[in-house]
Structure formats: structure tokens, C-alpha cells
């Protein structure tokens, strides 16, 4: 499978990525603007299957690191992305054959396509999270033994910083420090690997998935049919995400949101409407939604996906965008099997976020 | 000219480097310990003339960056030095043929020899300051147009960080930030260049000079002759440093020393003894001694060298080591011509340190 991504795909992709962002991952509006600019004048970027890579092809994930709020005020020009890529190639002593996506949830879904359009490299269909997560090591690349470093960061002056260390915690510490010195957001290349490693570690097909999710919502709106029914029907036809259901629907009755430890932390209480009237569900978040509970009963829990959508339009809502009184429909979606292994759960399961609940697959709950 | 540096040279070299440190440059005692360890079991390191380099040889200065006080508590193991060198070579895609010294004043005089002994590379006789200075850009390398970056830093875990930027101020800012993240001191390779650039930009022969200064003090002590007379006689036989004299001698009567803006800033007032009785000289410093004044009259001013030595032993005294009541002899020494050009004075002349006085060569003063 190979397809060309053009201007006509940007809106669907941005919306689908925001659904998979599960409340976090930054605002895909910005990524959409950047991708639109990169694809103007009929330019396209090739989306390829990971099986199309040779096992010794050099491939590298590209992303932005830092505060999404800063990114909004300091929009990357593209020069810093290219600088990060060139420094990665120079240190490795070989050219990059294709770009990977680190995080399909939110703005980072779109940026590898922006860079691919600018430098003519294809982008592999898939990512390292199958959703959004807040930390560098929370990837299937890490779980499958791909080292995060040498990691390259670039700022808006196209200055690059390469960090080469064996310790993942040291990498996170030095890089987090450098993001601050670079003004709060940086372009990064990390988890550079060969095609064989990408084939072992990728959450496959997630760029196509985001495209599809965005498309069915658009088509349902145009046909005035139920976008939620369309989303569930689409997900049930996929390989990984087929376990899915509407967890709850209602209006936002209470909201606690604070910036603590560098994260957007808090919880939102939703009071039921319609067939859910008289009931109440609380969603706890740390950048992304972690767990949805009705009283003590868990409805869905990380790494399974909890997406909050506007009940009227099925437009995804980030934790930043939550407001008192909003009508919300809550979707639960099963994570890919590669994200539910014991090794994966040790890195981004409930305990990694300080939750006492064990992981229970969505299909065994409710 | 080529010679081998062995254990028997360490004491002389450390003392001579401290004289050229003009009050700053860190404690060469530590560098001496490290060099002694690197040279044990009969190992040596080759000191070569810069003319022995081929014009396209890849050569790189090595130094420690950060707070000398931290260095004392976090002694480099040698592994981080090698890591910095290897990352420099990997990014450049070619092997380093020889090491350069960045700063002959203080501990950084000895560290290229430590690394050279460990990895078998020769060290070029010369440096980029002809003394000690507090900032990255205060080098003849910079003045002669050699870019400081890509700069490589390494910490005690042998983690390396490479910073590639065209802006000298941006390099200083990112590197200074990273030194702090690395715990206050780092091994650095910067101003990597080819042999031709080294031949144009080096302050030549300063490692031999430090060795000679240390040696004549040791020999004078053993022969119970006047070490100051021996120092002056030795300096007058050199190519660059032949203008020199005793500026003043007396005891420390007042001392103001504060850490401000990351520097050791202050002044020391010396009251005359012997033929200088009844007179008083003030030396102002920012890490290194900047200017010596008797009233309004300037006796010597940066970049010319002002060294404070113990009057009894001719042992050099750093600004950290100054104490009330100390008997001190003050030497003024002319800087090399390459350090007195208008371009050089713009970077490390009096105005660069906020002094209103113009630069006047030592030989035209007093």
C-alpha cells in the first residue's frame, strides 16, 4: 500500500489525529496550517507501508517536543526541521530513507508529513504510540529496545543540539533542560532506527486510521447521519481498534484543571443526559485522559483510548478546550495489542501515571 | 621542534601555567594530579610545533568549561574527555590528528596533555589565549575567524552533547545552560579546525613557555637565588613576552571579592614594602587580573598579563588564594602581538571588561 497525501487530506487527518490524541497531543489546528502550507501548489507526500522498507534502510521519527502552548506562538518555519534531519544524517554518516511518526495523537501526527513534503522523503504509515503520551520513553520503539539517542533537537534559529547518552533518564533530563533553553519548544529527531526495527516496533497503519476517522465524521455531517455511529462502524472494521463503544454522554458539570509538575492535570465530571440521565462519570487526565469512572467502576483505562467529542458535531475536545456546560460524548477504544503487553504496560500502563487500578481491556469492562 | 612530556615536567608546567593564569584559570593543582596519573608507568605525550601539522590535518582544542570550584569536587575520569573527542570525530567524519590547548593559563593548560597521553595523540605547542580569559569567544581562534561550533560537551557519565550553531552568542547561551544541567563542569571540544587555521591563529610556544617559567622558579629556589630575577631574565629571552617588569611589591592591605554575574569579581589593595614603602597599588579582577593602578596611573592593563606571586617563593597566587597580610610581588608581562591587534582588543581588551581606560602596551607605561 502506498498513497499520496495532498491538500484534500489535511482536514480529515487533523481531526482524526485529535480524536486519537485523547485530550492531549497539542492542537492539530496548527499542524494542519503547517501541512496546508507545505502541500500548496499541488505538492504531495508519499505515505508508505512499513513493509516497503528494506531492513537496513535508515529511518527516523520526527516530532516537536515542549509545551503545545509555546508552539502556538512560535510556529516552526520548516528550516529547523530540516536542520534536525541533516544533523541526524551527518552524525549517523548515512542518508535518511523515510520519516516515521512518533505520536499519532495531535499535532505530532502532521509534522512528519510537513517535513516529508519539504524534503521529498516518504512517511511510513504508523507511529510509536497509537495515541498521545506525555513522555519520550512512552513509545513502542522504546519497548521494543530501540534506543532514543542520539537525539537531535533544533530551535527556530536552525541551531541543532545532539545528545548522545546511554541512559534514557539522562536523555530526558538533558533534553528537557535544552527545550527550556530553546524557548519552550524544539524540533526533534529521536529513536533513529533501521527498517527492520521499524517493522518490529511500529503501531501500524495509524496515519491511515486518523485519515479514516476524520473522513467518516466529515461524511456523516454532510449526509446529516449520526457521526458517532459512523465512527464506531469504521473502528470495528480496523485490525486493532475494533473494540470500541460510547462510554457515556452528558454535559460538563465540574472541571478541575491545573498545571502541576509540567503537566496539565485534573479531572472533568460529566452528568448524564438522555438515556444516561441521573448518572455521572469522572475522567481523570494528565495531558491525556487516563481513566473514566462511574463511582468506583472503571469504564476505560490507559493505554486504551478515551476520546471526548462534542455531542453535536463529533469534533474532538482537548483538555484545554473543556468548558462548563459542554455537551460531550465519550468514546472508549481498544489500544493495539503491541501496546497492551506487560512490557508496554510497565512503561505507559496505569501504574506509570500513579493509578492504583490494574489495566483491564475495554472489551472486558462495562 | 618536538619533545616528550613526562612525569618530570608536571610540576614545572603546572606552576608556569598558574603564572600565565594571571589570577584565574582554575587551580592547576588538580590538572597536575590528573596529568601525573595519565603519565605514570613511564608514559609520555608528544609536544609538537604547529608547523609540523599538514594544512589539512584535523585538529581540535580540548578544555574544561564551568566553575573551577565544581571541578575540584567532580574530577574528570578521562572517559568523558575521550567521549567528547570521539563525538567530534564522528560528526566531522574524520580522525583528529593532534590536540590543541584552548587556554594556557591554569588548569586548561594541562588537560589537553592528559587527553593526549590517554589516546596517543600529540599536543601542539601553543594556545588560543596566551593567558586565561573567562569566556568562550575570548580566543585568538575566534579573532582569526575559526568558528567555535560545532562544539561538543561531555559529562561524567560520558554522555555527549553537540551544539551546532552559527551564532557565537547562541552557542555561549546554549552551552552555558548545558554546563549547569551537566552539574557545573563539562569536558569540551570546540574551535575544531585544520592545520592551516591553527598555523594562522595559534599563540605559539606557550606550553614550552609555561614549562620554562616553572623550571626557572624551581631552579632558583634550589640555588637560593632570586626567582624573580630568573623569571624576568627568562621572559626577556622569549619572542613575545620580552617586555616585563616587577610592577610593585608589598602586602595585601584590603580585599574585596564577590561572586557576581557568575564571575569572581573584586579588587585587592597592596601596600608597598621595601623600596615601595608608602605607596599603594590596586588590582581589579574579573576571574583574571584586569588592571593594576597606583592612584589614577595605570601600571598594566588587559590583555597584558598581571601575575601576583608570593614574595618569598615566587609561587603564583589565584584570586581565590588572596589573603589579608600576604606578601606579594606583582609582575607585568607583555601579551603576544596577535593579542594586541584592534580585532583582538575589541574582544578581550579593556572595554570588553567594562573598563574605560584604553589599552596601552606595558612597555609604554611606568
Instruction: Tell me the per-residue pLDDT of A208-236, one tens digit each, with 9 for 90 and over.
Output: 999 999 999 999 999 989 999 999 999 99
- Please determine, for residue A185, whether its predicted confidence score (pLDDT) is greater than 90: no
Q: Which H, E and C letters describe chain B, residue by residue?
A: CEEEECHHHHHHHHHHHHHHCCCCCCCHHHHHHHHHHHCCCCCCEEEECHHHCCCCCEEEEEEEEECHHHHHHCCCCCHHHHHHHHHHHHHHCCCCCEEEECCCCCHHHCHHHHHHHHHCCCEECEECCCCCCCCCCCCHHHHCCCCCCCEEEECCCCCEEEEECCCHHHHHHHHHHHHHHCCCEEEEECCCEEHHHHHHHCEECHHHHHHHHHHHHHHHHHCCCCHHHHHHHHHHCCCCCCCEEEEEEEEEEEEEEEEECCEEEEEEEEEECHHHCCCEEEEEEECEEEEEEECCEEEEECCCEEEEEECCCCCECCHHHCCCCCEEEEEEECCCHHHCCHHHHHHHCHHHHCCCCCCCCHHHCC
Q: If you average pLDDT over every residue of chain B, what do you get?
A: 94
Q: How far apart are CA B106 and CA B203, in angstroms?
A: 16
CB contact under 8 A, A157 and B164: no
Q: What is the nearest CA distance from B142 to chain A, expressed in angstroms? A: 19
Residue B277 lies in a domain: no
- Which of A204, A232, A262 is the endpoint of a domain? A204
- Please determine, for residue B326, whether its predicted confidence score (pLDDT) is greater than 80: yes
Query: Average of pLDDT values for B190-204?
Result: 97
Query: Average of pLDDT values for B71-98?
Result: 90
Percent of chain B with pLDDT over 90: 83
Residue B139 lies in a domain: yes
Query: Average of pLDDT values for B22-46?
Result: 91
A34 and A169 in one domain? yes
CB atoms within 10 A of CB B4: 12
Phi then psi dihedrals of residue A50, to 5 deg: -65, -25
- Please determine, for residue B225, whether its predicted confidence score (pLDDT) is greater than 90: yes
Give the alpha-carbon dihedral of B345, B348, B353, B356, to 10 degrees. Answer: -10
Query: Average of pLDDT values for B4-32?
Result: 93
Q: What is the nearest CA distance from A268 to chain B, expressed in angstroms? A: 36
CB atoms within 10 A of CB A82: 16
CB contact under 8 A, B181 and A177: yes
pLDDT interval class at A242 (50, 70, 90): confident
CB contact under 8 A, B91 and A162: yes
Q: How far apart are CA A157 and CA A172, in angstroms?
A: 22
Grid cell 582554575 is found at B26
Pairing of strands B58-66, B98-101: parallel
Q: What is the pLDDT of residue A209?
A: 96
Query: Average of pLDDT values for A129-145?
Result: 93
Tens digit of each residue's pLDDT (9 = 90 or more) over A290-310: 999 999 999 999 999 999 999
CB contact under 8 A, A159 and B162: no
Q: How far apart are CA A286 and CA B16, in angstroms?
A: 58
Q: What is the pLDDT of residue B41?
A: 86
User: Total structural domains in chain A?
Assistant: 2
Nearest residue in chain A measured CA to CA from B183 = A174
Q: Which of B161, B171, B175, B180 to mutate to test the interface with A (most CBs of A within 10 A)?
A: B161
Residue A359 lies in a domain: no
Tens digit of each residue's pLDDT (9 = 90 or more) over A81-127: 999 999 999 999 999 999 999 999 999 999 999 999 999 999 999 99
Of A91, A161, A167, the CB nearest to B163: A161
Contacts of B177 in chain A (CB under 8 A): 177-178, 180-181
Query: Average of pLDDT values for B19-24?
Result: 95
Q: What is the pLDDT of residue A134?
A: 87
- Which of A204, A225, A253 is the endpoint of a domain? A204
Query: Average of pLDDT values for A236-259?
Result: 93
E-assigned strand segments in A49-107: 58-66, 98-101
CATH number of the domain at B138, please.
3.40.1610.10
Q: What is the pLDDT of residue A309?
A: 97
Q: If you average pLDDT over every residue of chain A, what do you get?
A: 94
Tens digit of each residue's pLDDT (9 = 90 or more) over A304-360: 999 999 999 999 999 989 999 999 999 999 999 999 999 999 999 999 999 999 999
Spell out the residues 6+ positions from residue A328 whose beta carbon is closer than 8 angstroms to its own. A249, A250, A251, A252, A270, A308, A309, A310, A311, A317
Percent of chain A with pLDDT over 90: 83
pLDDT interval class at B325 (50, 70, 90): very high
- Please determine, for residue B239, whether its predicted confidence score (pLDDT) is greater than 90: no
A270 and A193 in one domain? no
Q: Which of A86, A149, A153, A181 to mutate to test the interface with B (most CBs of B within 10 A)?
A: A181
Q: What is the pLDDT of residue A307?
A: 98
Of A87, A163, A166, the CB nearest to B161: A163
CB contact under 8 A, A164 and B159: yes
Contacts of A164 in chain B (CB under 8 A): 87, 159-162
A280 and A183 in one domain? no
A274 and A346 in one domain? yes
pLDDT interval class at B69 (50, 70, 90): low
Spell out the residues 6+ positions from residue A182 whose beta carbon is closer than 8 angstroms to its own. A66, A153, A155, A159, A161, B174
Q: What is the pLDDT of residue A260?
A: 76
pLDDT interval class at B1 (50, 70, 90): low
Nearest residue in chain B measured CA to CA from A162 = B162
Q: What is the pLDDT of residue A69?
A: 67
Query: Average of pLDDT values for A141-149?
Result: 94
Which uninterrupted H or E stretch holds A31?
helix A28-38
Query: Average of pLDDT values for A156-183?
Result: 90
- Which of A204, A225, A255 is the endpoint of a domain? A204
Q: What is the pLDDT of residue A1?
A: 64
- Please determine, for residue A73, whether its predicted confidence score (pLDDT) is greater than 80: no
Residue B62 structural domain = 2-204
A270 and A196 in one domain? no
- Please determine, for residue B361, whether its predicted confidence score (pLDDT) is greater than 70: yes
Residue A113 lies in a domain: yes
Tens digit of each residue's pLDDT (9 = 90 or more) over B136-187: 889 999 999 999 999 999 999 999 999 999 887 889 889 989 998 998 889 9
Q: What is the nearest CA distance from B346 to chain A, expressed in angstroms? A: 26
Query: Average of pLDDT values for A261-277?
Result: 91
User: Which residues are B162's β-sheet partners?
Assistant: A162, B152
- Please determine, for residue B262, whether its predicted confidence score (pLDDT) is greater than 90: no
Nearest residue in chain A measured CA to CA from B83 = A164
Edge-to-edge order in the sheet of strand A263-272:
A297-301, A288-294, A280-286, A263-272, A244-260, A327-333, A305-310
Q: Which of B80, B165, B190 to mutate to test the interface with A (most CBs of A within 10 A)?
A: B165
Contacts of B179 in chain A (CB under 8 A): none
Contacts of B178 in chain A (CB under 8 A): 161, 174, 177-178, 181
Tell me how many residue pairs between chain A and chain B have CB atoms under 8 A apart. 76
A335 and A269 in one domain? yes
Query: Average of pLDDT values for A150-178?
Result: 91
Instruction: Please choose, from the candidates B302, B305, B337, B264, the residue with its C-alpha nearest in 3D space to the C-alpha of residue B19.
Output: B305
Q: Are the C-beta atoms of residues A214 and A15 closer than 8 Å to each other? A: yes
- What would the grid cell of residue B146 be? 575559526
Q: Are the C-beta atoms of residues B160 and B83 closer than 8 Å to each other? A: yes
Residue A211 lies in a domain: no
A115 and A28 in one domain? yes
Q: What is the pLDDT of residue B19?
A: 97
Query: Average of pLDDT values for B335-361?
Result: 96
Of B87, B157, B174, the CB nearest to A167: B157
pLDDT interval class at B73 (50, 70, 90): confident
Residue A32 lies in a domain: yes
Amino acid at each position: 500500500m502506498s498513497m499520496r497525501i495532498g491538500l484534500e487530506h489535511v482536514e480529515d487527518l487533523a481531526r482524526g489525529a485529535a480524536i486519537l490524541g485523547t485530550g492531549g497531543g497539542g492542537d492539530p489546528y496548527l499542524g494542519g496550517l503547517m501541512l496546508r502550507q507545505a502541500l500548496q501548489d499541488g505538492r504531495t507526500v508519499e505515505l508508505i507501508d512499513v513493509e516497503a522498507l528494506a531492513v537496513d534502510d535508515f529511518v527516523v521519527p520526527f516530532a516537536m517536543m515542549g509545551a503545545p502552548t509555546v508552539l502556538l506562538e512560535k510556529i516552526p518555519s520548516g528550516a529547523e526541521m530540516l536542520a534536525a534531519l541533516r544533523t541526524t544524517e551527518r552524525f549517523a554518516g548515512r542518508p535518511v530513507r523515510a520519516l516515521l511518526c512518533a505520536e499519532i495523537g495531535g499535532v505530532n501526527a502532521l509534522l512528519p508529513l510537513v517535513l516529508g513534503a519539504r524534503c521529498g522523503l516518504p512517511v511510513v504509515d504508523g507511529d510509536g504510540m497509537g495515541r498521545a503520551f506525555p513522555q519520550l520513553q512512552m513509545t513502542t520503539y522504546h519497548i521494543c529496545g530501540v534506543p532514543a539517542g542520539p537525539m537531535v533537537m533544533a530551535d527556530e534559529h536552525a541551531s541543532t543540539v545532539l545528545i548522545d547518552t546511554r541512559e534514557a533518564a539522562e536523555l530526558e533530563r538533558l533534553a528537557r533542560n535544552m527545550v527550556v533553553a530553546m524557548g519552550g519548544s524544539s524540533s526533534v529527531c529521536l529513536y533513529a532506527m533501521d527498517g527492520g526495527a521499524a517493522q518490529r516496533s511500529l503501531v501500524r497503519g495509524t496515519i491511515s486510521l486518523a485519515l479514516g476517522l476524520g473522513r467518516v465524521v466529515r461524511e456523516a455531517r454532510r449526509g446529516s447521519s449520526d457521526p458517532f455511529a459512523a465512527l464506531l462502524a469504521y473502528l470495528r472494521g480496523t485490525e486493532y481498534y475494533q473494540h470500541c463503544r460510547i462510554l457515556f454522554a452528558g454535559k460538563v458539570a465540574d472541571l478541575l484543571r491545573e498545571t502541576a509538575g509540567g503537566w496539565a492535570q485534573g479531572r472533568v465530571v460529566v452528568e448524564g443526559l438522555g438515556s444516561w440521565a441521573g448518572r455521572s462519570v469522572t475522567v481523570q487526565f494528565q495531558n491525556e485522559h487516563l481513566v473514566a469512572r462511574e463511582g468506583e467502576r472503571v469504564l476505560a483505562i490507559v493505554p486504551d483510548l478515551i476520546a471526548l467529542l462534542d455531542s453535536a458535531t463529533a469534533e474532538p475536545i482537548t483538555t484545554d478546550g473543556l468548558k462548563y456546560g459542554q455537551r460531550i460524548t465519550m468514546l472508549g477504544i481498544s489500544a493495539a495489542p503491541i501496546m497492551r503487553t506487560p512490557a508496554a504496560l510497565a512503561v505507559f500502563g496505569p501504574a506509570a501515571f500513579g493509578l492504583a487500578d490494574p489495566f483491564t481491556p475495554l472489551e472486558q469492562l462495562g
